Amino acid sequence: MKKLLVVLLSLGLIVAFSTASSAADVKFSGWYYVAGVYENNPMLTPRDEAGYSSFSQAYFYQRLRFQPVFAIAEGLTLTTRFDALEKQWGNTNLQAGGATDYTNSRRFQQAVLTQGQKIQESIEFERSYVTFMTGIGEFQVGYQNVDAWGTDFGDYNNSAPSIRFMTKLGPLALLAIYEKDFENDTAGQPATYTNNVDADNDTYALAGIYSGKGLEAGLLYKYYAMNKTKAAGFKSQINLLSPYVKATFGPVYIEGEFQYWFGKAAAYEAPLAGTKDIDLSAYGAYLKAKMDVGPAYFGALFAYLSGNDYSDATKTGLNPGGHGSSFVHSLIMMYEPVATWSNSGSTAAGIYGASNMFVYNAFGGFNPTPKWNMEAKLTYATVDKKQLSATTEAVSNKLGTEVDLTATYKIYDNLSYMVGAGYLWTGDYFKGANAAAKIDDNYILMNQLSLSF
């Protein structure tokens, strides 16, 4: 009888797994990477100087990302995205003791992170939204990609609750977007925001995108109603107007984006009624050109984010959007992965999301075979305003000059291996207001294995 039951169970499993699902077809995509980094001087301090503690560090980090899309019916899909084992190799900060990096599913993890690294040893769902077509256009509802528009300039790969509507009129796409940043009616933390009615953070946007042969252009208007701090006596009412363009002319590709931020950085009311509001007027600009010449290419980019000179307490010119974590042009300066996983925070990389800067970058590459890519980049960066406060300013506006070299080999079409090196001649801006401060250069060596599917 036992053998008969085993046979019947096996046949049942075969039938179950061979039957096509009638509820949905599922398409999986995603990527995995593991990177190794050696950074010589992340704090940009000199060696062998009394009172300074320059050090080097080496580490690995990785991430596995899945994005399943469930096609439920014609014009109806459910998209999810989750990360797994996004962590630094060997880091046991979230484990209950021990010096060995285990990832057993039932291993206890502490709630408090003892150092600064972002560690996700379990599965973290980041997106879940439904897309459906109607007679008037397409809707997307749920946690989805936000803080991304036009080019990579100023973009962050963030996920937040949002409702998006898009309709097409020939080559023109029109969008209306609502995002919920913070719900205060039922807030429990932080304590200063607990249950404050009509004190949420919301954003509203209207946009249009034109797509034609070799040309894409768009215009975004976004309103930020940031009322979370209303109980403390002020709120922010910020507007963003941002056009962008992407164009191809034969072997030449050009893209650019402009930002104009305006409104109230702080609008005061009870209990601070009578305090002068802080007006916002800030700018951002980006331009990149690239030309293909056979198996080679070269190009340049420029980026600008306005700073604040603190000359008038009722005005600010600091760009509130920042450089963006998706805007990558070097291996040290403003490079988000190094800032995230470096034990020190990596001083130069830590400004990846900052404003107040000019960036100039020239690059060139060569593909000797379809599997190989060799690339070199030169980046020079300064700040827009040297002022650190109303009474102090930095001794220099120079952030530094960096040269980067990378070589990438395609092991398979979906699997590549990259080795790279970068050297930063550190600028005196990192001395702050102290002209006698000691700083030194930094260099980085890294390699990365990347898989996409």
* Of residues 361, 262, 279, the one with CA closest to residue 321: 262
pLDDT at position 2 is 45
Residue 191: φ, ψ to 5°: -60, -30
Residue 193 or 116, more confident = 193
Residue 90: inside a domain, yes or no? no
pLDDT at position 7 is 40
**At residue 20, does pLDDT exceed 90?**
no
Domain count, the chain: 1
Residue 149 or 111, more confident = 149
CA-to-CA distance for 198 and 185, rounded, in angstroms? 7
> Could you read off the pLDDT of 334-360 as tens digits, one per residue?
998 888 888 667 899 988 888 999 999
Residue 160: inside a domain, yes or no? yes
> Could you read off the pLDDT of 183-215 as tens digits, one per residue?
988 877 777 776 777 889 999 999 999 999 999
Residue 394: inside a domain, yes or no? no
Using a pLDDT cut of 90, give the percent of the chain over it: 73
* Of residues 436, 441, 437, 404, the one with CA closest to residue 426: 441
pLDDT at position 6 is 40
HSE (side-chain half, CA atoms, 13 Å) at 211: 7
**At residue 23, does pLDDT exceed 80?**
no
Residue 48: inside a domain, yes or no? no
pLDDT at position 4 is 41
What integer is the mean pLDDT of 364-381?
98
What integer is the mean pLDDT of 383-412?
97
> Could you read off the pLDDT of 264-307 as tens digits, one per residue?
999 999 889 889 999 999 999 999 999 999 999 999 999 999 99
pLDDT at position 15 is 40
To the nearest whole number, what is the mean pLDDT of the chain? 89
Using a pLDDT cut of 70, give the percent of the chain over it: 87
H-helix or E-strand spanning residue 4: helix 2-18
Q: Which residue bears the tokens 């000359």?
A: 311
Binned at pLDDT 50, 70 and 90, residue 18 comes out as very low
* Of residues 11, 290, 309, 352, the one with CA closest to residue 156: 352
Residue 307: inside a domain, yes or no? no
Residue 24: inside a domain, yes or no? no
Binned at pLDDT 50, 70 and 90, residue 16 comes out as very low
Classify residue 401 as exposed, middle or buried by CB count within 10 Å of its CB (0-12, 13-18, 19+): middle
pLDDT at position 452 is 97
Residue type, 164: R
Q: Which residue bears the tokens 């009616």?
A: 185
DSSP 6: H
Q: Which residue bears the tokens 């919301």?
A: 202
Residue 279: inside a domain, yes or no? yes
Residue 168: inside a domain, yes or no? yes
Residue 146 lies in domain: 134-188+196-284
CA-to-CA distance for 28 and 378, rounded, in angstroms? 37
CA-to-CA distance for 56 and 40, rounded, in angstroms? 4
**At residue 370, does pLDDT exceed 80?**
yes
Largest Cα span, the chain: 90
What integer is the mean pLDDT of 237-248?
98
Beta bridge partners of 272: none
- Model pTM? 0.88
